Amino acid sequence: MANYPPDVTGQFTPFALFRAYPHLASAGAFYMDVWPLNAPLLVVFDPAMMAQFSQDTPRPKHDLVKREFRPFSQNLDLVTSEGQTWRTWRAAFNPGFSAQNIMAHIPVFMEEVLVFKAYLGRVAATGETIRMESQLMKATCDIICRAVLGVRMHIQTKPSPLYDSLKSCIALLIGDSSPRMWPRIFNPLRPFLIWNHNRIMRRELLPLLEAQLKEHDESEVHGGTSTSSSTTGLKTIANLSIRAYRNERVNLDKGNKEKAAREFLEVAVEHLKMFLFAGHDTTASVLSYAYYFLHRNPSHLAKVRAEHDAVFGPDPSRAAAQLAAKPTLLNQLPYTTAVLKEVLRLSPPVGSVREGGPDFFLTHPESGTRFPTDGVILFACSFLSHRHPGIWAEPDKFVPERWLTPDPEQREKEARLRKNAWRPFELGPRACIGQELALTELRLLLVLTVREFDVVPDFPEDAPTVFGEVGYQADLPGELTAHMKGGFPAKIVRRQHVASTA
């Protein structure tokens, strides 16, 4: 790793070893001893072998993840909880995160995207260089709050104690024992600071959840005719989850609705904090890479813009009104979707880690080689499986067309080859619950910005590169997952032939 920049993301290390020792490709997995930074890893990149511990026999999340997020969410969230607790809450939240419900929210999401678009317009007028991810994170937080709570938080435009405490708390979490974590590990004030940030987030979120609960109860009093946000007529994720959760808990608690309500509020706060973290963090990173790769590949950018012209007409200022009237237009963008899938293939924000066990072995599907897993971290390395030359043609190239193969026979062949290989949201019962929301946000943000603005990367001339990319994935101060180097420094240029609408 001495040949690479010191801040390159940790999930790049197995990939660098894989490229340095090509014979590893046939093994499907390899052990990596990272002592004293962490427990040994079993890095798994064969799709069938990854499925063995995430889909066929889902293993528990490794204690590494639970320790990391325990100070943040007390392990009450969907990422780190297990067993019946996880099943109860996953079932409660599934209706709110359904494709149908997310699609219904597009008009209100658009209000937040237009705030972001206006910001791009102001930046374009000044010519300044911005840290693109910073504003994208605020925009995605605003969108998540609309989906979950049905309220406008104005994080993009006003000071936000909720957002500030969220970011500050994340910056204090400990993922491993590497040197970049030492300032957190040896910070004597860390426990108090985390407690205080959690207190502020709870103070901001609890009244909003209580309002959702009150609205739900009032709708039941009136015969259950409405379980929707009083201001928009939409069914929020929180509101839809209340009925499912309460029904199960009331059955267990012999009709004690008040107890079920108190429990819902206590735990829902922790879930919402995790939704905000996971949603704002990864979505902002992926959209940054979408802008980055499209700028570096002008022919693909032209195809995206042409598709948007075909669906929404040549005047980009009309797209918002069209989507408000007909949100399903967002489903008529196959090339844009292919671009996003390719971005997720090349730049997955994070992999997945599970717990091994004395009686659990991984088996190579062809050689039959068995890998013991006791005492190791099972690491489903999507960064590696997404660039495996045995699965993907030209694995390091940005080729959205690979997702649009016209020939049915070739398409079926590729689907068999790629089965379980593309997993930016993970696969199996614990796949990311918010993937439909994320993809909707990403398409919406591109539709409303990419025809009016050029997002131009603005890295220093002497910036280091990784495999020729100056915008490589890095471990940034204060973040937990992989982000673009420098938070994506960029200039915004308004396209000359497009009228000003921001």
Give the pLDDT mean for 261-266. 86
Give the pLDDT mean for 243-254. 66
At 499, is the pLDDT very low, low, confident or very high (cuts 50, 70, 90)?
very low
At 177, is the pLDDT very low, low, confident or very high (cuts 50, 70, 90)?
confident
- The rounded percent of the chain whose pLDDT value lies above 90 is 79
Give the pLDDT mean for 415-443. 95
The residue to which tokens 């949603």 are assigned: 279
474 forms bridges with which residues in the sheet? 8, 483
Q: Is 432 annotated as a binding residue?
A: yes
Domain ranges for the chain, please list them: 11-494
Q: What is the average pLDDT value for the chain, to the nearest integer? A: 92
pLDDT tens digits for range 46-81? 999 999 999 999 999 999 999 999 999 999 999 999
User: Which amino acid appears at position 456 of this protein?
Assistant: V
At 253, is the pLDDT very low, low, confident or very high (cuts 50, 70, 90)?
low
Look at residue 501 in the predicted model and tell me its pLDDT: 47
d(CA 211, CA 213): 5
**H helices present in 378-463, as ranges:** 382-385, 408-418, 435-447
pLDDT tens digits for range 395-412? 999 999 999 988 888 888
Does residue 222 register a pLDDT over 70? Answer: no
The residue to which tokens 């590949």 are assigned: 297
d(CA 11, CA 8): 9
At 234, is the pLDDT very low, low, confident or very high (cuts 50, 70, 90)?
confident
Q: Which residue has the higher pLDDT, 218 or 99?
A: 99
Q: Which residue has the higher pLDDT, 228 or 426?
A: 426
41 forms bridges with which residues in the sheet? 32, 377
Exposure string of 215-229, with b = 16+ CB inside 10 Å and e = fewer, is: bbeebeeeeeebbbb
At 247, is the pLDDT very low, low, confident or very high (cuts 50, 70, 90)?
confident
pLDDT tens digits for range 363-379? 999 999 999 999 999 99
Look at residue 227 in the predicted model and tell me its pLDDT: 47
Look at residue 225 in the predicted model and tell me its pLDDT: 52
Query: Under CATH, which architecture does the 11-494 domain have?
Result: Orthogonal Bundle (1.10)
At 474, is the pLDDT very low, low, confident or very high (cuts 50, 70, 90)?
very high
At 250, is the pLDDT very low, low, confident or very high (cuts 50, 70, 90)?
low
The pair of structure tokens assigned to 423 is 């997993």
Look at residue 500 in the predicted model and tell me its pLDDT: 44
Look at residue 502 in the predicted model and tell me its pLDDT: 42
Torsion over CA: 362, 368, 371, 373 (sign): positive
Look at residue 131 in the predicted model and tell me its pLDDT: 97
Q: CA–CA distance from 462 to each of 144, 415, 465 (Å)? A: 37, 41, 9
Exposure string of 480-489, with b = 16+ CB inside 10 Å and e = fewer, is: bbbbbbbbbb
- The rounded percent of the chain whose pLDDT value lies above 70 is 94
pLDDT tens digits for range 111-130? 999 999 999 999 999 999 99
Estimate the crossing angle of helix 257-296 against helix 435-447, to 10 degrees: 40
Closest alpha carbon to 333 in 315, 306, 297, 302 = 306
Closest alpha carbon to 392 in 375, 417, 428 = 417
**What is the chain's Cα-based Rg?**
23
At 334, is the pLDDT very low, low, confident or very high (cuts 50, 70, 90)?
very high
Which pTM value belongs to this model?
A: 0.94
Does residue 217 register a pLDDT over 50? Answer: yes
Torsion of CA 170, 174, 178, 183, to 10 degrees: 70
